[in-house]
A and B are shown apart, each in its own frame.
Chain A
Amino acid sequence: MGYLFKKIRLAKLLNENRKNVDLDDEREQKLISKDLGENIKDLRSVIDSGGDIVLREFCIGNDNKPNAAVVFIEGLVNKDILDASVLKPLMFLSALPDKSKSGLHDIDFIENNLLSAGNISRFSAYDELIDNLFSGEIILLVGGASEGLVINAFDPKTRAVEPPMTESVVRGSREGFTESIRTNISLLRRKIKNPDLCFEKIKIGKKSKTDVAVAYLKSIADPALIEEIKKRLGEISIDAVLESGYIEQFIEDAPFSIFPTVANSEKPDKVAAKLLEGRAAIFVDGTPFVLTVPMLFIESFQRSEDYYARPYYASMIRLIRFACYFISVLAPAVYIALTTFHQELIPTKLLLTLAAGHEQIPFPSVIEAFFILTVFEILREAGITMPQPVGSAVSIVGALVLGESAVTAGLIGPFMVIIVALTAISGFVVTAQIDSATVLRFVFLILAGAAGGFGIIMGMLVVGIHLASLRSFGIPYLSPISPFMPAEQKDALIRAPLRTFIFRPTSIVKKNITRQNPGALRKNNEKNPGGQNEN
């Protein structure tokens, strides 16, 4: 009964809210006036509320009364453009005697003959004025004109392009995305110099008006995928988007799954590679993390360096990465299952060593494991949050004081420390799945503590079924392993030589699948057989 009441109350609340939202949307389309003074009067309320907005009235031509005004936000616009390309021509050049007097107040004349800025557009609605003003453009209002001009001079303070924090590489580009969407787009453009690469920009967030751009390669990406992305982006009606994580959580296929179905990257070369495989990227202003969709599970195990290194080592390291994921999820659980349920499976000598190590420990192994895993998570969290110098102190205290002395004091066994250390380090190898691995680690630990190997198998079944049921923008999450695609195994568990990658992954790309022309390569080989020998 109480549940029902709650539901009714919630519905009421939502209804009221919807009214508010509607009011917000249904503001009448107000046009700007021909009278400059009236426009400025309208603007006053906006200007007064924000101390960073500058309104400058001035004269075009030889008039004595100000007949034009620029409005801009200090710190967002490029002062050079403002001074040299907007104010100077309007104030000085317009006053030269040979200028036709008749055209001075003509907005066409101003746009075509006077302003020397690169990117100029027009507007007539008041809302457009506000939007452009807060996007960091220069607004030019001219008395007597029913349209205003927007001069693109957006130049906010941005961080320089630096190596990415999360995806360091030994070999390969060290550029990382920054917080500025324009820089990010230009970084990607430098990787793919082709009109095929297009960006579709929209603004999301009623209050934040965050710039979001969907990037894809027109000839490769599936149009249905792009439509779906745009549809899902259009459905977002949040007030502010502060990071791409906001977008991710609104467009992902399985919001309640522990597995991510949207990938992110800080590296332009990685994003370019994903676009070339038919994916789409979503740039969000204000964050260096660019989203790419659809995401496959195996993407978590692929790194850009896999493709830059030669295939043997790359394949080996990729297999190790898969092993690491299993270790990071299952190692404590398997250890608990073996030592508390299936002692007969441990080799005798190892069993004796393990028994000796656990002899004086007062807690059951499950509690012990739970304890150290939690301590590890605490240390990790503290290490991340602390400033760098303090962070290292935290790790020293954690590793030495807690680990070492807990073992000497006989609170925890040395083997458990080894297992947890291995688990933790393995978890860091597969960065894209750290979240899922950490959650699963605890789930499997409980299962193993309750029912041993049986519990682990049950858990694996559930997780396996769940993984197989997941989809990311229509693509099965486990492809190309399930459904099995023989041709794509070249870039799944192992990484085959690049020259064998003749086609793009067909699980994502539906058209234009040829990546390289194998005939050309063969011809090349025949021409100089000595130089291009394979094997």
Chain B
Amino acid sequence: MKIKPRLLLLCLCIAAFTGFSGCLRSTEISDLPLTLGLGVDKSDDPAGFKIIAQIAKPSQLKNPASGGGGGSSEPAYANFESGGETIFDAIRNLTKMIGDRIFASHSEVLLFGNGIAREGMRDYIDFFLRNPDVRPSAYIIVTQSTVKEIMDLKPLLENVPVTSLKRILKTQEFTSETAKVTLIEFTSCLMSKTKSAVAPVAGVAENGGKKAAFISGLAVFKNYKLAGTFNRKETRGLLWVLDKIKKGILNVPKKEDGKKIAIEIISSKCKAIPEIKGTKLRVHIKIREQGSLSEQPVGDDFISLDGLEYLKQAQADAIKDEIMSAFNKSVELKTDPFGFGELLHKKYPKEWKNMEQYWDSLYPTIELVFDIKTSLVKTDAITKSVSPE
């Protein structure tokens, strides 16, 4: 008699466990619409926008070789467009075409059209933050023209356009001329009153008669709205101050004839320290950089004290030049992508309270004080350039 209630309890537990846990979503992977990228762009709808979802076709991905290099094989993805009154409405409307709810956890890239960016991201960003499926680590990209153009462009090497975009973003550190910006980073800038959010810009370029997507430069936002874009030089200048430079090429001119010498950045450390002196605002920018001599005009010899000294100085000048051009551009766009306002807020919380409302007019008056120390640590495989004895 003793064992019976216990046995009953056990049976109940098992039944409850298997029964009640049924509310968890269990789906076979092959049934999931694996969404690799989501895009938002302007449309002629009354709501003014549309959603584009790029969904993988795994069976096409399986044998890329059998297609035989050409464009004749079926693409490994399908794009679905849909509109709605809200983003979520539009996304659920996709279900009517696809046959299941899209599975957005693997959307590694979120694309926003130029029109949406100009109009302002305010109305579109909330869904992506609130939805538990969308990763906060998804990359934000702003397109130069329409999102559709980028998402429809079959990459030359990869199978899926958005996967190719992600790969390009991941390797930006070799040039440091654009930046990876995740959804959460982007949002944290939107939460600041003064710091401007930035996002990489994707465009389409001709490549030997075929079109190819590229990512270069940064879009700079002011209050959710696109204020303008930084070109590659200005982007690099911004990244120096944000301490996000990993690698990249500095082209410095030769003293005599202005021929370019390529110096690869090996490492860089930057610290920006704001200072209030009387009524003047200063930001000390302290940079420690190491480079390697990677290319030089044949015949010249830089392996001397004077030569090395010149290259060091030339690097510092180039860095300073890049930062100044970025700063000037930001003044022109009336934005603060460097986050100097935030730095001041942290260091001078009392004074900041008075400054905050005048920040737009105070920003252009900031004086940048440079402390750049560079060094040349190696010359790669050869030291002196080849020359006849």
Co-assembled chains A and B: yes
Q: A359-408: which have CB < 8 Å to B?
A: 359, 361, 364-365
Check A343–B103 contact: CB distance below 8 A. Answer: yes
Measured between beta carbons, the chain A residues less than 8 angstroms from B106 are: 343-344, 348, 351
Q: Check: A358 CB closer than 8 A to any chain B CB.
A: yes
Q: Please report the C-alpha to C-alpha distance between residue A452 and residue B58 in the assembled complex, in whole angstroms.
A: 23
Q: Would you call A355 and B29 a contact (CB within 8 A)?
A: yes
Q: A3-B1, A348-B36 are in contact. Are A450 and B28 (CB under 8 A)?
A: no
Distance between A368 CB and nearest chain B CB, rounded to angstroms: 10
Task: Decide: A355 and B34 in contact? CB cutoff 8 A.
Answer: yes
**A240 interface hit (Cβ, 8 Å):** no
Chain A residues in 8 Å Cβ range of B105: 343-344
Whether A365 and B133, one on each chain, are in contact in the complex, defined by CB atoms closer than 8 angstroms, is no
Q: B61 contacts which of A352, A364, A454 (Cβ < 8 Å)?
A: A352
Q: Give Cα A356–Cα B159 distance, bound, in whole angstroms.
A: 14
Residue of A nearest to B25 (CB): A341
Contact B28 A358 (CB under 8 A): yes
Q: Does B66 contact A (CB under 8 A)?
A: no
Within 8 A of B (CB), among A318-359: 339-341, 343-344, 348, 351-359
**Which among B16-24, B173-181, B224-232, B359-367 touches the partner chain?**
B16-24
| B24–A452 CB distance below 8 A | yes
In angstroms, Cα B58 to Cα A359, docked, is 8
Q: A344-B106, A356-B61 are in contact. Are A454 and B28 (CB under 8 A)?
A: no
Partner pick for A450 among B1, B17, B36, B62, CB 8 A cutoff: B17
Q: Is the CB of A451 within 8 A of B59?
A: no
Interface SS of chain A: helix
Q: Please measure, in the bound complex, the distance between the C-alpha atom of A341 and the C-alpha atom of B133, giving whole angstroms.
A: 13
Residue of B nearest to A344 (CB): B105
Interface centre among B21, B36, B135, B163 (most CB of A within 10 A): B21
B28 lies within 8 A of A340 (CB):
yes
Tell me the A435-453 residues at the B interface (CB within 8 Å).
446, 449-452
On whether the beta carbons of A3 and B58 are closer than 8 Å, the reply is: no
Cross-interface CB contact of B24 among A357, A364, A454, cutoff 8 Å: A454
Q: Closest A-chain residue to B103, C-beta based?
A: A343
Answer whether residue B355 sits at the interface, using C-beta atoms and an 8 A cutoff.
Answer: no
In the complex, are the beta carbons of A348 and B108 less than 8 A apart? yes
Q: Is the CB of A344 within 8 A of B17?
A: no
In the complex, which of the residues A344, A348, A365, A455 contacts B28, with contact meaning CB atoms closer than 8 Å?
A365
Contact at B26–A352, with CB atoms within 8 Å? Answer: no
A142 to B32 CA separation, bound complex (whole angstroms): 92
A361 cross-chain contacts in B, Cβ below 8 A: 30
Is B151 positioned at the interface, with any CB of A under 8 Å from its CB?
A: no
Decide: B56 and A352 in contact? CB cutoff 8 A: yes
Chain B residue numbers with a CB within 8 Å of A4 are 1
CB distance from B143 to the nearest CB of A (A): 22
A340 touches B29 (CB 8 A): yes
Q: Are B28 and A364 in contact (CB under 8 A)?
A: yes
Closest Cβ–Cβ distance, residue B122 to chain A (whole Å): 28
Interface size on A, residues (CB 8 A): 28
Among candidates B26, B61, B163, residue contacting A452 with C-beta atoms closer than 8 Å: B26
Give the nearest-CB partner of A452 in chain B.
B24
In the complex, how many angstroms separate the beta carbon of B170 from the nearest chain A beta carbon?
13
- Per the bound structure, the CA–CA distance linking A352 and B61 in Å amounts to 8
Q: Which of B29, B36, B62 contacts A343 (CB 8 A)?
A: B29
CB neighbours of B25 from chain A (8 A): 341
Q: Tell me which of A343, A357, A364, A451 contacts B17 (CB under 8 A).
A: A451
| A458 CB within 8 Å of chain B | yes
Interface contact A341-B36, CB-CB below 8 Å: no
A385 to B133, CA, bound (A): 51
Known: A358-B29, A364-B28, A365-B28. A351 touches B34 (CB 8 A): yes
Find out whether the CB atom of B21 lies under 8 angstroms from the CB atom of A450.
Answer: yes
A339 touches B29 (CB 8 A): yes
Q: Which residues of B contact A357 (CB under 8 A)?
A: 62
A450–B29 touching, CB < 8 Å: no
Across-interface contacts of B30 in A (CB, < 8 A): 355, 358-359, 361
CB-contact partner of B26 in A3, A340, A351, A354, under 8 A: A340
Contact A3 B24 (CB under 8 A): no
Cα A449 to Cα B18 in complex, Å, equals 9
Residues on B with C-beta less than 8 A from A356 are 58-59, 61-62
- B residues in contact with A446, CB < 8 Å: 18
| B304 is an interface residue with CB less than 8 A from chain A | no
Task: Indicate with 1 or 0, residue by residue over B1-33, a CB within 8 angstroms of chain A CB atoms.
Answer: 100100000000000011001101111111010
Q: Nearest chain-A residue to B20 (Cβ)? A: A451
User: How many angstroms between the C-alpha atoms of A147 and B106 in the bound complex?
Assistant: 91
Question: Smallest Cβ distance from B288 to chain A, in angstroms?
Answer: 36
List B contacts of A351 (CB < 8 A). 29, 34, 106
How far, in angstroms, from A298 to B112 measured CA to CA in the complex? 57
Residue ID in chain B nearest A413 by CB atoms: B30
CB pair A355–B4 under 8 Å, yes or no, is: no
Please pick, from A343, A449, A450, the residue contacting B32 in the complex, using a CB distance under 8 A: A343
Residue of B nearest to A453 (CB): B24
Question: Within A46-87, which residues are at the interface with B (CB < 8 Å)?
Answer: none
- Inter-chain CA distance A59–B135, complex, in Å, is 102
Q: How far is the CB of B354 from the nearest CB of chain A, in Å? A: 47
Give the docked Cα–Cα distance between A91 and B327 (Å): 125
Within 8 A of A (CB), among B97-123: 103, 105-106, 108
A446 to B18, CA, bound (A): 9
- CB proximity of A233 to chain B, nearest CB, Å: 28
CB distance from B9 to the nearest CB of A (A): 14
Alpha-carbon distance between A3 and B4 when the two chains are bound, in angstroms: 10
B56 engages A451 (CB within 8 Å) = no
Shortest Cβ gap from A49 to chain B (Å): 44
- Report the minimum CB–CB distance from B177 to chain A (whole Å): 26
CA distance A364 to B25 in the complex (A): 14
Can you name the residue of chain A whose Cβ is closest to the Cβ of B4? A3
B residues 160-199 in Cβ contact with A at 8 Å: 163
How distant is the Cα of A339 from the Cα of B32 in the complex, in angstroms? 10
Bound complex: CA A355 to CA B61 (Å):
10
**Closest CB in chain A relative to B70 CB, distance in Å:** 21
**Interchain CA distance A352-B17 in the complex, whole Å:** 31
B17 contacts across to A, CB distance below 8 A: 450-451, 455, 458
In the bound complex, CA of A340 to CA of B58 (Å) = 16
Sample of 11 A–B contacts (CB below 8 Å): A3-B4, A340-B29, A348-B106, A351-B106, A356-B59, A356-B61, A356-B62, A358-B29, A446-B18, A450-B18, A450-B22
Which chain B residues have a beta carbon within 8 Å of chain A's beta carbons?
A: 1, 4, 17-18, 21-22, 24-30, 32, 34, 36, 56, 58-59, 61-62, 103, 105-106, 108, 133, 135, 163
Give me 17 other A-B pairs in contact (C-beta within 8 A), A339-B28, A358-B29, A450-B18 excluded: A3-B4, A339-B29, A341-B25, A341-B26, A343-B32, A351-B29, A352-B34, A352-B58, A353-B61, A353-B62, A355-B32, A356-B58, A358-B28, A361-B30, A450-B21, A454-B24, A458-B17
Shortest 4 CB-CB contacts between residues of A and residues of B = A344-B105, A451-B21, A356-B58, A355-B58
